[in-house]
Amino acid sequence: KAGVTQTPRYLIKTRGQQVTLSCSPISGHRSVSWYQQTPGQGLQFLFEYFSETQRNKGNFPGRFSGRQFSNSRSEMNVSTLELGDSALYLCASSPPSVRGLTEAFFGQGTRLTVV
Amino acid sequence: DAKTTQPPSMDCAEGRAANLPCNHSTISGNEYVYWYRQIHSQGPQYIIHGLKNNETNEMASLIITEDRKSSTLILPHATLRDTAVYYCIVDSGGGADGLTFGKGTHLIIQP
């Protein structure tokens, strides 16, 4: 079955602009999480959505937002881009589990460069 | 802060077993040990997880000490394609609150 699909793979934006990234989870997965990866900070959790509701949020400013649609596809938006927002943005989906999430399946990521 | 400590890098000869250690001395009773790896320029890949018993799957084995304060991921016959950064993570929900990735171990498989 198809894996987690993120689009676009690469993006170049100018400071002050906004950007929207898209993530299609594995079929049947209802939980989608977003992460930011930079050389300095490593992989950091942004937020997690389940059934169109944000369940958890990491320590990022309000410029970072997201949403999830009824088909579980998710988008994240970054407004007023800063140079420091240049990063690999990763999306992960997780299967339903009685105990909670078990494992996360990551996409290939979107490489965002802010100039 | 990550709750785990891993060596920053390790080498292993191709065909040999790669043993990656992880210390998690403050692990709670309801927290699992998860291992992920990230091959350059790709998203992280789930490998295995366990609570207190040793676990094995088609990719690797996970050995957790009896006091659960440390664990070892074993890749039984390492290949060049196993060169990656390996992350050991402790988590009670598998990521519901977001996985906390540390710096991981950069495993280099030598031909």
Token pair for A33: 């999480």
d(CA A35, CA B29): 27
Q: Mark which residues 10-39 of B lie under 8 Å from A by CB.
A: 34, 36
The DSSP bridge partners found for residue B74 are B19, B61
A contact test, residue of B6, B99, B106 with most A CBs within 10 A: B99
Contact check, Cβ <8 Å, B96/A31? yes
Residue range A39-92, pLDDT digits in tens: 989 999 999 999 999 988 999 999 999 999 999 999 999 999 999 999 999 999
What is the mean pLDDT of the segment spanning B86-105?
82
pLDDT tens digits along B62-85: 999 999 999 999 999 999 999 999
Q: Do B96 and A103 touch (CB under 8 A)?
A: no
CB contact under 8 A, B44 and A33: no
- The answer to whether the CB of A43 falls within 8 A of the CB of B44 is yes
The alpha carbon torsion through A6, B4, B104, B39 (nearest 10 deg) reads -40
Size of chain A in residues: 115
With CB atoms and an 8 Å threshold, state whether B95 touches A103.
Answer: yes
Closest by CA to A19, choosing from A28, A4, A8, is: A8
Q: Which of B101, B103, B105, B106 to mutate to test the interface with A (most CBs of A within 10 A)?
A: B101
